[in-house]
Structure 1
Amino acid sequence: MTDLKEQLFANAEQWGADLIAVADTTRMAGMETRPDDLLNNFPRAISIAVQLADGIIDTIVDTPTEIYSQHYQRVNALLDNIACRVSSFIQSNGGKALPIPASQILCEERFVSYISHKAVAINAGLGWQGKSLLLVTPQYGPRIRLVTILTDLNIAADEPIKNRCGKCTKCTDACPAGAIKNVNTELHYSSRNEAVSLSACVDHLNKVSGYGNLMPYICGVCVASCPWGKKKRQPHQGTAVQQNP
């Protein structure tokens, strides 16, 4: 009989997921959520990533492009679709599911949402937190978008992985706002400002949003500059990330 987690992962891949892993939400105790009790009664958080197209990311040099803006929105829509289908699968197997929108800013002063998809992904072991605050995956670097499904389904959690940024300064050097401070971390930063000047980043995002037909608050330069995303990749068999034996 197929393990429920394996079946969930296989279905998510068929629906378009490139990476998937599971976080134990007790690791995220004290993390800011909206509402504050969002994680109550949800011992697991499923993190799903979809890869961004290399051909589009490679068009970004020092400003975002219109095709990146459109692609960004389409991938977010795909993630929301996958999350809804995964939630339906969970519920059909007796669990409770709460899909979190892939991209929704609830406060434009502090740039927060219901939960940090990156924090969930880090705790699930999809990747590590880079110096740019982005999730960096071994397979695709930061060239991904994320979505989260909270659940009470009884499935094994995966483990975080080691930060591999090391002495690399590519995103720091490339940032047009000079916002990245080149500070490393083992798992995650104590605050965003430890790694990035959020005000400098937002000022730049507001500036470039006036260029052409771009959605608000996108840049992509740090995404495009990361060596992990640029590494030559071999076709892989199976995309699920499972840390547990």
Structure 2
Amino acid sequence: MNSKELKGFAVDAGATVARIADLDRLRGIETMPPDLLDGFRYAVSLAVALSGSIMETITDRPTPIYASHYLRVNALLDETALKVTRYIEERGARAMPLPASQTLDEERNVSYLSHKAVAVAAGIGWQGKSLLTVSPDYGPRIRLVTVLTDADLVSDEPLKNRCGGCTKCTDACPAGAIKNVNTDSHYASRDEALHFERCVRHVREVCARMENIGASICGVCIKVCPWGAKKREAA
């Protein structure tokens, strides 16, 4: 299967960016169920960029328009992943789309696998201090989805971490959850980078006090990242 044509199809189908991860880079990652990756060789990582204007409405908390946008982008990701799955299957290979946003364990806040880890392995971006995938073109202002496949593809290479000494997300986090620890490639665990329980508690408390949200989100660290603002400033 032609990897370039597959990625081009994914972009035509709705993705902003499409890259391919070799699953050997992700062996040992936590998945639900534990054998989720068995029989698959690659993962197609798809990103949809969030609206810059909507992200700019965020100050110290999420906004109703951001919540609506978040849900709509998740729906677009799921639809695009389904189209990519059909594209692959029609060419004789297996493919499995994983939902963009479905929590399987509410206590630990985990799903089938980390879309962010797949995106880092695929070279969509690097793992930022907030644990978010930071794209060189869109910063963390992206949402992600994954399609697993056994198709014969060519993988993309991971990107070098470019967070450096920046502390924007650490300074802005209303929960004080980001530890300002950098990494060359990825963190051994999310606890290395975050006081994760602070993040989860803050998000749930803030969203519970707000009307018309409909999702457990924050968005502050996404909004303040300089990499997300670069595209707007260059326009």
- Tell me which interval the TM-score lies in, with the shorter structure as reference length: over 0.9
User: For the residues of structure 1 that align with 2:84 and 2:143, how far apart are their CA atoms?
Assistant: 17
Residue 215 of structure 1 deviates from its aligned partner by 2.2
* Alignment-derived partner of residue 114 in structure 1: 112
Q: State the match for 1:41 in structure 2.
A: 39
Distance in 2, matches of 1:10 and 1:195, equals: 34
Residue by residue, what CA displacement relative to the aligned partner does 1:183-238 show, whole Å, maximum 9, x if unpaired? 00011111111101011101101111121211232000000010000013568xxx
| Cα RMSD after superposing both structures | 1.1
The answer for unaligned runs of 5 or more in structure 2 is none
1:35-74 equivalences under 5 Å are 35-74=33-72
Q: Check conservation: 2:170, 2:178, Cα contact below 8 A.
A: yes
**Paired position in structure 2 for 1:230:** 229
Deviating runs (4+, > 3 A) in structure 1? 232-235
CA deviation string 1:110-134 (max 9, x = no partner): 1110010000000011100000000
For structure 1, which runs of at least 5 residues remain unmatched after alignment?
236-245
Residue 10 of structure 1 and its aligned partner are, at CA, apart by 1.5
Equivalent in 23, 26, 32 of residue 25 of structure 1: 23
Letter in 2 for 1:228: W
Which whole-Å deviations, capped at 9, do the CAs of 1:72-105 have from their partners, x for residues lacking one?
0000000000000000000011110000000011
Instruction: Find out whether 1:215 has 2:221 as its counterpart.
Output: no
| Percent sequence identity over aligned pairs | 57
State the distance in 1 between where 2:107 and 2:35 align: 22
In the alignment, is the contact (CA less than 8 A) between 2:137 and 2:231 conserved in 1?
no
Q: Structure 2: which amino acid aligns with 1:204?
A: H
User: SS at the partner of 1:215?
Assistant: coil
CA–CA distance in structure 1, aligned partners of residues 225 and 214 of structure 2: 22
Distance 1:186 1:146 in 2: 21
Contact persistence 1:205–1:216 (CA under 8 A) = no
Q: TM-score, normalised by structure 1?
A: 0.93
Helix, strand or coil at the partner of 2:231: coil
C-alpha separation in 1, matches of 2:75 and 2:57: 22
Match of 2:191 in 1: 193
Alignment of 1:119-198 (within 5 A): 119-198=117-196
Letter in 2 for 1:215: G
Deviation of 1:12 after TM superposition, in Å, equals 1.1
Question: Is contact 1:206-1:216 (8 Å) kept?
Answer: no
Question: TM-score, normalized by length of structure 2?
Answer: 0.97
Whole-Å separation in 1 of the counterparts to 2:224 and 2:104? 28
Q: Distance in 2 between matches of 1:213 and 1:195?
A: 31
CA contact (8 A) 1:180 1:196 kept: yes
More helix by share: 2
Aligned residues: 233
Amino acid at match of 2:219: G
